[in-house]
Amino acid sequence: MPEFETDSNLVQEYKYGFFTDIETDTIPKGLNEEVIAIISAKKNEPVWMLEWRLKAFRRWQKMKNPDWAFLDMPEIDFQDIHYYSAPKEAVDMKEMDPELLKTFERLGIPMGERDALSGVAMDVVFDSVSVGTTHKEMLEELGIIFCSISEAIQEHPELVKQYLGTVVPPGDNFYAALNSAVFTDGSFCYIPKGVTCPVELSTYFRINAADTGQFERTLIICDDNATCSYLEGCTAPARDTNQLHAAVVEIVALENADVKYSTVQNWYAGDEEGKGGIYNFVTKRGHCRGRKSKISWTQVEVGAAITWKYPSCVLEGDGSVGEFYSVAFTNNKMQADTGTKMIHVGKNTSSTIISKGISAGESSNNYRGLVKVMEGASNARNHSICDSLLIGRDCSANTFPYIESEDDSAHLAHEATTSTISEDQLFYLKSRGLSEEDAASMVVKGFCKDVFKKLPLEFSVEAIKLLEIKLEGSIG
């Protein structure tokens, strides 16, 4: 694991909280069938796609916003949101709006030619649209499709039709149904049989416009014996109103395929009083369809006012493997309810869960997870470790592990700890010349190490740096 030095110049306030003033094409607030038709039309979608959306919308209208997570939030007025907003200027990479380019520069996203050699292919979603994907030609030579989902719907309808909604059906839950009706953009990846994708596939989500909901839809398909690693990152301007990001991510792993999905989530989290911030309500699920396939989720959650997500694996193929590695940091009045579901269906399937929750300020940080072994899923194995670290006295951490086993041959192990940074640890490190903040930060990074080492190398460095920034001011 790369180890990061604290950079005293790093500002502790949210440095991505700026707003880019560009001309946008935004449709009026409100949600109805007409709005959905407009979104579909703006994306030049085929009729089947519009029908799929409308079907989802009709289902959603009959559903209720779930309340089982006991999150403390005001009711969301779904008619008070813009469901589509896009930069007006051409989105061709070469003619990109200079303001937009400047934005990407500030966000540290490599979009220009000069960065074409970096080992990351990037798709960027700005509010409701994808504004450009890099490394396209190189990937095309390998038969890899990496583009926005809007483009995929037009260019590769057969693949989209075959897989969209097969992992997370439109009626799965309230936000999945809403997303299915109004999703605007996201990434599409297809790795053909036997291909190991040579670069990290990455999508950067940016919410810019006010009162806009972002409905990301991502679909990743890894065919037989194929391998890929995908990473997403997210930021948003600092505003005193809440904004909704309701994403659906679906992963399909066919025989012997290996998908690694990593997230560094740094949405604006609201201010110290809990005003503003992004509601991050996300459904992420992977389906290990083929024998010996593997899906691994790694998430570093340091932003958003409320996070509500459970990246999951359905282990259907015999011998398939699911993994979930998570670091969730909450501060001030942030609320996080996150975890995973591992559904063992096939024989000899195994899953690993390592969750590290760190709470500071008055935040609340919950792990909620389900390990389910279906009848006939013989020799299923799961190992879960859920650790919580508390910083200060006003925060809370809870662990809700649910285990359901219908097969006697299952081996399930669960460990959970809750600790505070101990005075003895701080005194020991301080007596070695480290400041209180450096000492605490060192203890926290050590606590998260098992998860950070699962991230792709360069992102691990970023994630550690990000956590350091977030820790500043939360200690002492």
Partner 1 sequence: MSYLQIKNLHAQTGDIKILKGVNLEINKGEVHALMGPNGSGKSTLSSVIMGHPDYEVTEGDILLNGESILEMDPDERALAGLFLCFQYPVAIPGVSISNFMKKAVDARHPEGKAPAGPFLKEMRENMEYLDMDKSFANRGLNEGFSGGEKKRMEILQMMMFKPSISIMDETDSGLDIDALQVVAKGVNKMRGPDLGLLVITHYERILTYINPQYLHILMDGKVVMSGGPELVKTLEEKGYDWVREQVSVTA
Give the interface with partner 1 as residue ranges (CB under 8 A): 3, 5, 422-425, 427-436, 438-439, 442-443, 445-450
- Cβ-based nearer residue to partner 1, 409 or 435: 435
Based on CB atoms, which residue is closest to partner 1, 376 or 446? 446
DSSP 8-state assignment for residue 207: -
Q: Which is nearer to partner 1, 38 or 434 (CB)?
A: 434
* Residue 300 C-beta: closest distance to partner 1, Å: 15
**Nearest distance from C-beta of residue 202 to partner 1, angstroms:** 27
44 vs 16, 40, 207, 360, 426, CA distance in Å? Answer: 32, 6, 23, 46, 59
C-alpha–C-alpha distance, residues 341 and 273, integer Å: 32
Longest dimension (CA), the chain: 69
To the nearest whole angstrom, how small is the minimum distance from the Cβ of residue 353 to partner 1? Answer: 18
Query: Distance between CA atoms of 90 and 101, rounded to whole angstroms?
Result: 12
Cβ 129 vs Cβ 24: under 8 Å: no
Rounded (10°) CA dihedral 5, 453, 251, 245: -30
- Give min distance, CB of 326 to partner 1, in A: 15
Shortest distance in whole angstroms from residue 38 CB to partner 1: 51
320/388 with CB nearer partner 1: 388
**Min CB(465)–partner 1 separation in Å:** 15
Q: State the Cα–Cα distance between residues 69 and 358, nearest whole angstrom.
A: 19
- The backbone region for 306, taken as left when phi is positive above 0, alpha when psi lies in -120 to 50, beta otherwise, is beta
- Output 2 or 119, the one with its CB closest to partner 1: 2
Q: Give the alpha-carbon dihedral of 170, 174, 176, 179, to 10 degrees.
A: 100
Where do we find the tokens 């009848």? 375
- Report the residue number, 300 or 321, with the smaller CB distance to partner 1: 300
Nearest distance from C-beta of residue 433 to partner 1, angstroms: 4
Contact residues for 426 (Cβ-Cβ < 8 A; gap 6+): 436, 439, 440, 443
| Angstrom distance (rounded) from CA 111 to CA 121 | 9
| Residue 30 region by backbone torsions, left for phi larger than 0, else alpha for psi between -120 and 50, else beta | left
Contacts of 6 (CB under 8 A, 6+ apart): 437, 438, 441, 468
CB 451, min distance to partner 1, A: 10
Which residue lies nearer to partner 1 by CB, 222 or 466? 466
Backbone angles phi, psi at 262, to 5 degrees: -120, 145
- Alpha-carbon distance of 453 to 460, in angstroms, equals 7
Q: Closest separation between CB of residue 462 and partner 1, Å?
A: 17
User: How does DSSP assign 321-376, residue by residue?
Assistant: EEEEEEEEEE-TT-EEEE--EEEE-STT-EEEEEEEEEE-TT-EEEEEEEEEE-TT
Shortest Å, Cβ 112 to partner 1:
31
Closer to partner 1 at the Cβ: 203 or 460? 460
Q: What is the DSSP letter of 134?
A: S
Question: Please, which residue, 95 or 423, has the CB nearer to partner 1?
Answer: 423
Nearer to partner 1, 7 or 92 (CB): 7
User: Strands of 321-330's sheet, edge to edge?
Assistant: 129-133, 120-126, 200-206, 227-235, 258-265, 294-301, 321-330, 350-359, 381-390, 411-420
Task: Please report how close the Cβ of residue 389 comes to partner 1 at its closest, in angstroms.
Answer: 11
Q: How far is the CB of 233 from partner 1 (least distance, A)?
A: 24
d(CA 242, CA 430): 40
| DSSP secondary structure code for residue 27 in this structure | P
Closer of 29 and 449 to partner 1 (Cβ): 449
Nearer Cβ to partner 1 (19/428): 428
